Amino acid sequence: MSEPEASVVMVTAPTKDEAERLAVAALEARLAACVQIQAIASHYWWDGKITSDAEQLLMFKTLPAKFVALRDLIASLHCYDTPEIIQLPVTAGADKYLAWIRREVSAD
């Protein structure tokens, strides 16, 4: 299997303000070309019981090589003890869009 051309990093945050703060920090650091934020309902196990919360889902469009730096930035700014930070490979996409991600994330 070939190397992913890009990746989507999924992160949840408790509020829109925190989600926007994380998005701006990643964009300013050139660790993402785009960040989408969407309101979601999360249902999950925590401390031995099923919990439900309203959260914000962030989807960072980035390059696989930037994951570690993006993960570390998010972890340093996030209010959760155990934030969701998951990288999903993008193995194909529109050539112009993938080129745009490479250009924006690689920019100095």
Domain chopping of the chain, boundaries: 6-106
pTM reported for the whole predicted model:
0.93
* CATH entry 3.40.50.2300 includes domain 6-106: no
Q: Record the tokens describing residue 27, joined without a space.
A: 């964009």
Helices 16-28 and 67-77 pack at an angle, to 10 degrees, of 140
Measured in residues, the chain has a length of 108
- 70: exposed, middle or buried (Cβ count in 10 Å: 0-12, 13-18, 19+): buried
**Predicted confidence pLDDT, tens digits, the chain (108 residues):** 567 899 999 999 999 999 999 999 999 999 999 999 999 999 999 999 999 999 999 999 999 999 999 999 999 999 999 999 999 999 999 999 999 999 999 865
Q: What is the DSSP string of 33-69?
A: SEEEEEEEEEEEEETTEEEEEEEEEEEEEE-GGGHHH
